[in-house]
Amino acid sequence: MGCFPCSGKSKKKEKPKRNDKKTEDQISSCTSGLFFSYRLAMSVIEYVSSTVWTSVLGRFYFVHLLVNLFSFFYVHVFFFSPILFSAKSKANLQLDVKKEASKDRSSEHIAAQTFTFRELAAATKNFRADCLLGGGGFGRVYKGRLESTNQMVAIKQLDRNGLQGNREFLVEVLMLSLLHHPNLVNLIGYCADGDQRLLVYEYMPLGSLEDHLHDLPPDKKRLDWNSRMKIAAGAAKGLEYLHDKASPPVIYRDLKCSNILLDEGYHPKLSDFGLAKLGPVGDKTHVSTRVMGTYGYCAPEYAMTGQLTLKSDVYSFGVVLLEIITGRKAIDNSKSAGEHNLVAWARPLFKDRRKFSQMADPMLQGQYPARGLYQALAVAAMCVQEQPTMRPLIADVVTALTYLASQKFDPETHTVQNIRMGSSTPRSRREQ
């Protein structure tokens, strides 16, 4: 595989003091060994990527290989080499993701641009508080403007505490570089300068679906029925692309209102792919993994066994659809006993159609088609079935919601007008 030339000029080292000699030797040995292992892994990845990238299947297996190699590298550094936590060794062993991504960019393996930390700091005015859009488990999200293109962007800065963020960062860059759909957020680029990890997305001016459903200020416009059905149908189409178009299928694993972003005209896009997993292939029925996600959205069988399937995403979508219809949160401890969990509250009501009107969001003020409400609740009820085999395929959900979104409700006349919309393209469906 050839030699790995040392970068930089060699410098004459001062002789360490006697009592520090052992420590210096340990640092030198561990550093050189890890650096060699890292470069070797990168060479293997580069070779594999050039041979398997010609097929979509090969691309996804390459992503899987890359994630596991990087995970091993991080675990090795942080758990088995504690001596490297010194400032000196940290500086010598920073993961040069930018350099490797630049190599891939030259061969069009990764379409995302690479940015320097200085560029993104300038875009956000040094991450000023008035540019902050929000935050979560990954870190903080800032609004910014790229000086090179004058483009408005959203910049997500990784919280450097812990290992999970680094894995999520790598998965998201690779996934969004391979997956492209009108209902998936567009990744513009990323930054991996030193220990900084940032992701640059297209800016979504209307924020998240959560911003329009829960804890609204008095002056904020409420979502009407037509907008809600449009958002639900679009989010389902994004999920359908991951399940039915991607090969192998991709399990999103973190579908929730805060991860559905809204563009102009309430056009929804799925975001935050840090927890995404490749789905089962061949005769496999599930993927076994440690339970991750958000309480209230996780499918019960996944929460209990760690067995992940495409139907796990369908359950999460059912919870989101219930939030859209009812205006309630998936988990709300401010509610009275028995109403904390949205699905547990809704299940008894599903059994009596006469109570369906009680489930509609009071903010709608009765401005919705009764038939459309019944049909939307029926879809949600099927999605949150206890048994995963009883849940519908996401393609069937798309067909139903696309129809409902095409039935435009006129609040003035309380009539429904049929507007032709693009329907789901027939395709082979994967049974779970």
What count of other Cβ atoms lies within 10 Å of the Cβ of residue 160? Answer: 11
User: Which residues, listed in sequence order, are joined to residue 341 by a DSSP beta bridge?
Assistant: 331
21 appears as a binding residue in the annotation: no
Residue type, 380: A
Return the residue matching tokens 């005769």: 283
Please work out, in degrees rounded to the nearest 5, the angle formed at the alpha carbon of residue 131 by the alpha carbons of 215 and 184: 70
Examine the residue annotation and report whether 25 is marked as an active-site residue of this protein.
Answer: no
What count of other Cβ atoms lies within 10 Å of the Cβ of residue 62? Answer: 21
Spell 69-81 as b/e; 16+ CB within 10 A means b.
bbeebeebbeeeb
Distances (CA, A) of 49 to 45, 60, 192, 213: 6, 10, 21, 43
Measured in degrees and rounded to the nearest 5, phi and psi for residue 3 equal -90, 160
Return the residue matching tokens 């949150």: 384
Return the residue matching tokens 């690779």: 174
Question: One of 104, 193, 244, 254 is an active-site residue; which one?
Answer: 254
- In total, the chain counts a number of residues equal to 432
Burial (0-12, 13-18, 19+ Cβ within 10 Å), 310:
buried
Distances (CA, A) of 90 to 24, 82, 129, 139, 310: 14, 11, 29, 22, 40
Residues classed as catalytic: 254
Which segments are annotated as binding site for ATP? Answer: 156
